[in-house]
Amino acid sequence: MEKELEIIFLNSKNTEVEKTGGGFLNIKTGGVKYENVQLVRTFPFSGEDQYISVRTADEEAREIGMIEDLARDFQGNARAYMQEQLEIRYFTPVIKKINSIREEGGSSYFDVETDAGRSRFVIRTNENAFIKLSETRVIIEDLEGNRYEIPDLNKLTARERKKLDIFL
Amino acid sequence: MNLLFSLDEKTKQKIGVGEEEIWYCVPYDLSEKHAYVRDGYVVVTRTRLLVTEKDRVVYETLLSQCEDIYSRTLINNGILVIEKKDGTKVRAARFSMKHLVRFSYVGRGAAMLAKGVYHKVESMENEKVCPVCGYALPGISVCPRCSGKKDSGRKIREMCQPYLLRFLLIGVLMLASSGVQIIIPKVQQQFIDTALVDRSGGMADILRFVSVMLLLTAATIVLTVFRSWYSTLLGARMSKDLRGKLFAKLQRLSLSYIQEQKPGELMNRVMNDTVQIRQFMETVFANAVSEFVTMGVAAVIMCTISWKLLLLSIAFVPVVIWGSVVIRGPVMRGFRRARKRKDRLESQLQDVLSGMSIVKSYGKEKEEARNFRRLAQEQTMVEMRNELYFAVRMPVFSFMLGMGVYLATYFGGLNVLEGSLSPGVLMQFVSYTTMLYEPLRRITMIARQFTQTITSMERIYDILDAREEIVNARNAKKIQIQGNIEFKNVTFGYRSYEPVLNHIDLSVRPGEMIGLVGASGSGKTTLINLLMRLYQVDDGVLSIDGVNINDLDVECLHSQIGVVLQETFLFNGTILENIRYACPEASFREVIEAAKAANAHDFICRAPAGYETYVGEKGYMLSGGERQRIAIARAILNKPRLLILDEATSNLDTESEYLVQTALDRLRRGCTTFAIAHRLSTLKNADRLVVIDHHRIAEIGSHEQLLEQKGIYYGLVTAQLEMSRVS
């Protein structure tokens, strides 16, 4: 196989991970140190901790390697640091409870409880702010570009589902 | 956009910036730990940057220690990054998309302060959602709700103002037709009570009654016809005027506004939302309003006849109203659901039709057909349910309202037998009862139409009220362009937090040809878009012949620019019309001369109707090279001073490339030219080449100079040579 087509897999055996004072991540692999690397989920919806692409900090964002399975291939602090980086890079609060949805002048005003706290946001009622990942899993994108997830519509109460009904 | 949120004095004291002037103060709303935070601010003074949480300072740095400060976009959130002079990098604050744009400005501002440039960065961008009340702002800078009044009233006024007289006329017609309708039962009552009941009338009475009734009926018909006709006319006129206004406004709005909209969305607003207004005038305004007038008058008369009977006859009204309110929710939801299903079905159809060749080549027809059937089935189910509602609702409501008539007739009939009410009056009363019900029967429909119309109006005004980014300055200058072009520290991004061009400095002499080189996405086309003033420079100055481009008259500028793009768009019409697009007054001779110069004359002569061959979407098929040459003829005819060629010769075979290239060389004479080309050989005539890399100018110089430099350009040239050798 051609060299550049090969996937380089990173794991605790070939990679050292360190957290910087400023909250970023440095790694050392194959004898090279990379500063402030970026972790990119290649399957953010269906396999969030699998096939994570580790990339350089510069604009080119060259791939240093991939982590096939974060939980399996890294342990202890290294894993925790990486998890933390992923948590910061990806912010999609999960909606736990829908307090109210009010419709006015073509916009719908949501008031929800998420796993990151209470949030109020707005979507345009007639635009497709709802992205259906499956029959029961939905992503909502608000007017400002924030995204919220409802992992399982069936876990909402019938009342809440009814409020969402018109968007689905 | 607000970059200076105010802090109260106490907080200022606590975080220790009591004396210092605050340059920027913006809220951040996320913690490191996947949680929203409140009362967190990033405060920038002349010398320091502080991150606060409630009244505490959680991070602080002297700006003099900072190398760079910027915001970085992550996935659905962003961070403020500070690069210190000692090489370390700090994540100072984290925020949701709500504050992303704000932080990009503040980052830029703070970085300038760190470099000792004391220039306040301002943001002209609008908030998407009002930071005070959370109201969605439709691309407008003032929140209509916070500024005191909800301005639906203003919009209605504005929309109706030009037609006041017509409204007045229709109003008079309405009153007249209501009047006639009210009189009819009264006439009947008199006839029954005076002529029929005691059999005292004669043939003359009957004849008189019949002719009066005939007259009144005829009057009703005439009045109704005129009322409906005028309303419809007025609706059509309002809708047409709005459409014209919308179209004119859309042309004045910047490209960025138009590109931000979903495809079809603007079409919708121009075509459908305006129709909604017409429909409202036709159905609701023309009939319902006068029915309500009639209803009011009828109720008053009924009350004078017998308030008890009135109460009886409207006994079921509350039930019907309650019923309408209860089922309104499900009905609305049903409608929305049906519309969504229809959209989905349509987009699926659209998707498969446009990708038909792929569907076929992978043998997925059956699967797609199954998919489509399923979606169609779902839609049918929803619509069936909706229709069921309608089918059941109307008869049930009518029956319940009819109950009122029966009650009134029963008790009224008793009264007649007792002698306390005359038969004529009972008859009159029952007639009024039906008038009372007519508008009620349709009240849900009216309510729905009304909300739909208000929504349409909001959407229309959304565009009409949108801010025009590219407007002529107050004393816009009209100049004859010589071709001196100067970019001074120009920065621009389609979204301000993602600069596409950074600190561009470039000075071009009249008549010079500049070749723009760089990877796709590096900002070449953007540079040209700025020059055409399709967008406004964010920072820095772009001037033509020493005049800031923002001070130039837009029309005057555009009339002196010639453009040939990679794909030429021909409008539906003849070749002649397409060539004459920019100067419709050009003579046949001038058109032919231009076409000859563009190497287009010969193929045009071969076309079935010469210069009057119909081209465009459904017209005569022209090859890519032929289209290009028509575009060149169009540009030549316009005698441009500035010429812009964006990949004008890519996608052509060698022969047509030659023809296009020689045509371009003729067009170029005397023009200041900017040419973008992927294939570097087409830029061999350029006086200077400008290499754009990573949103900045990386190299400037002639072909030879750049080859000598052995930089990016050299790399590109050798790479292309390799490619051509391989192929």
Q: What is the pLDDT of residues B644-654, one digit of tens each?
A: 988 887 777 77
pLDDT at B727: 62
- Report pLDDT for B264: 67
Smallest Cα distance from A74 to chain B, Å: 21
Residue listed under structure tokens 């008549």? B511
Q: Nearest-CA neighbor of B86 among B106, B110, B62? A: B62
Say if residue A18 is in the same domain as residue A85: yes
Residues of A in contact with B134 (CB under 8 A): 109, 120, 122
Nearest to B76 among A87, A124, A147 (CB): A147
Which residue is closest to B31 within chain A, CA to CA? A88
Output DSSP code: residue A9: B
User: Does the domain at residues B150-306+421-466 carry the CATH identifier 1.20.1560.10?
Assistant: yes
Identify the closest residue of chain B to A39 by CA–CA distance.
Answer: B74
**Residue B497 binned pLDDT confidence (cut-offs 50, 70, 90):** low
Q: What letters, b where the CB count within 10 A reaches 16 and e where it falls short, cover B632-646?
A: bbbbbbbebbbbbbb
Residue B16 has which token pair?
A: 């220790």
Length of chain A: 168
Smallest CA–CA distance from B77 into chain A, residue? A91
What distance, in Å, lies between the first and last C-alpha atoms of chain B? Answer: 53
Which residues have CB under 8 Å from B223's CB, separation 6+? Answer: B173, B176, B177, B180
**A110 and A84 co-located in one domain:** no
What's the whole-number mean pLDDT along residues B86-113?
A: 91
Interface probe for B, chosen from A59, A100, A142 (most Cβ of B below 10 Å), is: A142
Helix (H) or strand (E) holding A25: strand A25-29
Q: What architecture (CATH level 2) is domain B9-114?
A: Roll (2.30)
Distance from C-alpha of A58 to C-alpha of B493, rounded to nearest angstrom: 19
End-to-end alpha-carbon separation of chain A, Å?
A: 46
- CA-nearest of B537, B544, B475 to B504 is B537
Which residue range(s) make up the domain with A31?
Answer: 3-89
Same domain assignment for residues A60 and A112: no
Q: Is residue A106 located within the same domain as residue A121? A: yes
Inter-chain CB proximity A91 and B100 less than 8 Å:
no
pLDDT digit string, tens, across residues A80-137? 999 999 999 999 999 999 999 988 767 899 999 999 999 999 998 777 788 888 889 9
Test A23 with B336 for CB contact under 8 angstroms: no
Of B89, B129, B459, which is closest to A22 when you measure between CB atoms? B89
Which of A115-129, B287-301, B427-441, B491-505 shows the lowest per-residue confidence on average (mean pLDDT)?
B491-505
CB atoms inside a 10 Å sphere around CB B719: 10
CB contact under 8 A, B136 and A143: yes
Q: Which of A60, A89, A118 is the last residue of a domain?
A: A89
**Mean pLDDT of the B206-211 span:** 92
Predicted confidence (pLDDT) at residue B386 exceeds the cutoff of 90 = no
Q: Nearest CB to A146: which of B94, B97, B262?
A: B97
User: Which tokens hold the place of B233?
Assistant: 């006319």
pLDDT given at position B131: 81
Regarding whether A9 and A68 lie in a shared domain, the answer is: yes
Domain spans, chain B:
9-114, 150-306+421-466, 333-415
* Model-level ipTM above the cut of 0.90: yes
> Over the stretch B25-56, which tens digit does the pLDDT of each residue have?
999 999 988 899 998 999 999 999 999 998 89
The DSSP 8-state label assigned to residue B88 in this structure reads -
Using a CB-CB cut-off of 8 Å, the residues of chain A touching B91 are 22-24, 88
Averaged pLDDT of chain B: 86
Q: Do the domains B9-114 and B150-306+421-466 sit in the same CATH topology, yes or no?
A: no
Q: To which H or E segment does residue B443 belong?
A: helix B443-464
Q: How far is A53 from chain B (nearest CA, A)?
A: 15
Checking DSSP bridges between strand B513-517 and strand B672-676, what pairing results, if any? parallel
Among A27, A61, A89, residue at a domain's last position: A89
Q: pLDDT tens across B596-618, in order?
A: 988 899 999 988 889 998 887 66
Nearest Cα neighbor of B677 from B695, B692, B663, B662 is B692
Hey, are the CB atoms on B75 and A89 less than 8 Å from each other?
yes
CA of A134 vs chain B CAs: smallest distance (Å): 15
pLDDT one-digit tens code per residue, A8-53: 999 999 999 999 988 899 999 999 999 999 999 999 988 889 999 9
Among chain B, residues having any CB pair with chain A shorter than 8 Å are 30, 32-36, 74-77, 79, 82, 88-91, 94, 96-98, 100, 128-129, 134-136, 152, 262, 265, 332-333, 336-337, 340, 454-455, 458-459, 694
Question: What pLDDT, on the 0 to 100 scale, is given for residue B682?
Answer: 80
Together in a domain, A47 and A76: yes
Q: What is the pLDDT of residues B244-274, one digit of tens each?
A: 998 888 888 877 677 666 666 677 778 888 8
Q: Which of A50, A71, A89 represents a domain boundary (last residue)?
A: A89
DSSP state of B34: S
Tell me: do A107 and A138 sit in the same domain: yes
Structure tokens at B717: 């040239």
Chain B residues with CB under 8 Å of A89 CB are 74-75
A150 and A112 share one domain: yes
Which pLDDT band, with edges at 50, 70 and 90, does B148 fall under? very low
pLDDT bucket at B22, cuts 50 / 70 / 90: very high
pLDDT higher than threshold 70 for residue B150: no
CB B680 within 8 A of CB B718: no
The verdict on A74 and A128 lying in the same domain is: no
Chain A residue numbers with beta carbons less than 8 Å from the beta carbon of B458 are: 105-106
What are the start-end ranges of the H helices in B161-306?
A: 164-190, 203-252, 255-260, 265-268, 274-279, 289-305
pLDDT at B169: 92
Q: Are residues A27 and A65 in the same domain?
A: yes
CB contacts < 8 A (A, B): 99
For B459, name the nearest residue in chain A, comparing CA atoms only.
A106
Residues of A in contact with B152 (CB under 8 A): 105
A-chain residues within 8 Å CB-CB of B36? 116-119
Query: With an 8 Å Cβ cutoff, are A84 and B336 in contact?
Result: no
Same domain, A81 and A125: no
Other residues' Cβ atoms within 10 Å of the Cβ of residue A80:
13
pLDDT recorded at residue A148: 96
Give contacts of A118 with chain B, Cβ < 8 Å: 36
Same domain, A8 and A83: yes
Interface list for chain A against chain B, based on CB atoms closer than 8 Å: 20-24, 35-36, 44, 59, 84, 87-93, 105-107, 109, 115-122, 124, 127, 142-147, 165-168
Residue B260 has a pLDDT of 64
| pLDDT digits 0-9 by tens, B539-559 | 889 999 999 998 989 888 888
Do B97 and A145 count as a contact with CB atoms less than 8 A apart?
yes
Closest CA of chain B from A166, distance in Å: 6
pLDDT of the residue at B344: 80
